[in-house]
Chain A
Amino acid sequence: DAGVIQSPRHEVTEMGQEVTLRCKPISGHNSLFWYRQTMMRGLELLIYFNNNVPIDDSGMPEDRFSAKMPNASFSTLKIQPSEPRDSAVYFCASSSIRDGRNQPQHFGDGTRLSIL
């Protein structure tokens, strides 16, 4: 049973470049979450989707960040232009819904992003 799949696993790029992170959630899961993890701030929720619709994007730090979920099996997180302070590990997670409530999330192994 495949878990959440993220790509790429590592990304190193120069400041100002566009970065696109990709996520394939677990089949059948209705909710998808994007997180950023740093030593200083821990796991921060950036945005979450329910049935492909963005529900809460209050964690998206700036207009440089955007996320899409064109269908139930794919989502992207884009940073344009990238800055060194965006360097972090970005996680995607998905969960099913029962009785209208999100069930525990399952995480991918993350994308380690370094902006030089």
Chain B
Amino acid sequence: QKEVEQDPGPLSVPEGAIVSLNCTYSNSAFQYFMWYRQYSRKGPELLMYTYSSGNKEDGRFTAQVDKSSKYISLFIRDSQPSDSATYLCAIRGDGNQFYFGTGTSLTVIP
């Protein structure tokens, strides 16, 4: 079993929609969770990170962690065409390394 599994998509939504991106992880000891956004032909860019269960908001973005289910989500409110990108979840492991999901490709249609 992989350390992190991510819904592959692709996902296509109309402008203004709420987007939900999801990952599951295998090890209940993992405690540090991140979301990256990657535009075409660019490197992943850190979007948000959180330690704890619950929600963390930053503008239109909300990161949610449910440790009991080993499930993490990223919600995007009022999605914009500029949000079109690939989103990767990432988790820091026990040994200080990072595990990445394979990414979900999102297209927001004007």
Residues of A within 8 A of B100 (CB): 42-43
Interface residues on A, range: 20 to 34
Bound form: Cα–Cα A5–B46 in Å:
16
Contact of A42 (CB < 8 Å), options: B92, B98, B102 = B102
Closest beta carbon of chain A to B68's beta carbon, Å: 23
Known: A42-B103, A43-B88. A105 touches B45 (CB 8 A): no
How many residues from B make CB contacts under 8 Å with A? Answer: 21
Q: Are A42 and B43 neighbours in the complex by a CB distance under 8 Å? A: no
Q: Are B43 and A102 neighbours in the complex by a CB distance under 8 Å? A: no
Q: Are A110 and B43 neighbours in the complex by a CB distance under 8 Å? A: yes
9 A-B interface contacts by CB (under 8 A): A42-B102, A56-B95, A101-B92, A101-B96, A104-B46, A104-B49, A105-B46, A108-B43, A109-B42
